[in-house]
Chains A and B, each alone.
Chain A
Amino acid sequence: DTGVSQDPRHKITKRGQNVTFRCDPISEHNRLYWYRQTLGQGPEFLTYFQNEAQLEKSRLLSDRFSAERPKGSFSTLEIQRTEQGDSAMYLCASSLEGGGAEAFFGQGTRLTVV
């Protein structure tokens, strides 16, 4: 297994367009997380899945954001009607179940909204 992979690595979009990002976790990991990181800040939690169930969503996740993990494997994060404030690095991580389990991060998708 090569780790967590995210696609695309970079995305430039015009304001108002919809974008979708994909995350492929480590295959045996049943937990998958999405974080957002802006310049000069640490990653901020957006949402997480255990298998296909979305267990928690941050208040940061407005109704323009939606995430899915349809078969408990890969996940997608969609942003509708993008705004310039959505420009950030979107990070995906996966882990085994259990407190203190190490989260393995992908390299992220850098979104620029122009």
Chain B
Amino acid sequence: AQSVTQLGSHVSVSEGALVLLRCNYSSSVPPYLFWYVQYPNQGLQLLLKYTTGATLVKGINGFEAEFKKSETSFHLTKPSAHMSDAAEYFCAVTPTGANSKLTFGKGITLSVRP
């Protein structure tokens, strides 16, 4: 069975500071990896994903994540936080292959201080 761990439930950064949201997964084989963002009263939106190829993936709104197989991690970063980045962020995995059922972590709420 696959699982996703997102340590901590809340991260607070100052505007312009580095954003780092951690994600570790547990899986017998490396899965496909996703980061989703959820703004208040909205559905989940895909930020980025890793399936194959380059391990550093770039997504929307300046976010990027690096797949590190040896560390079973897929941490999300953004060099400079903006007020509009305040939202809840979910890391998720699916098995490789045809089954695309997502297993989510608990999510991290990002706050951005002026």
Do A100 and B100 have beta carbons less than 8 Å apart? yes
CA of A43 to CA of B95, assembled, Å: 17
| A100 CB contact (under 8 Å) in B4, B45, B51, B105 | B51
Do A99 and B94 have beta carbons less than 8 Å apart? yes
| B107 CB contact (under 8 Å) in A35, A42, A93 | A42
CA of A33 to CA of B36, assembled, Å: 16
CA of A102 to CA of B60, assembled, Å: 14
Give the total of B residues in contact with A, Cβ under 8 Å: 28
Do B104 and A99 have beta carbons less than 8 Å apart? no
Contact stretch, chosen from A70-78, A79-87, A104-112? A104-112
Which bucket holds chain A's interface residue count?
20 to 34
| B32 CB contact (under 8 Å) in A40, A56, A97, A99 | A99
Find chain B residues with CB under 8 A from A21 CB.
none
CA of A48 to CA of B102, assembled, Å: 11
| B43 CB contact (under 8 Å) in A48, A56, A95, A105 | A105
Q: Is B82 an interface residue (CB 8 A)?
A: no
Q: Is A12 an interface residue (CB 8 A)?
A: no
What are the 3 A-B residue pairs with the smallest beta carbon separation, nearest first? A42-B104, A100-B51, A105-B43
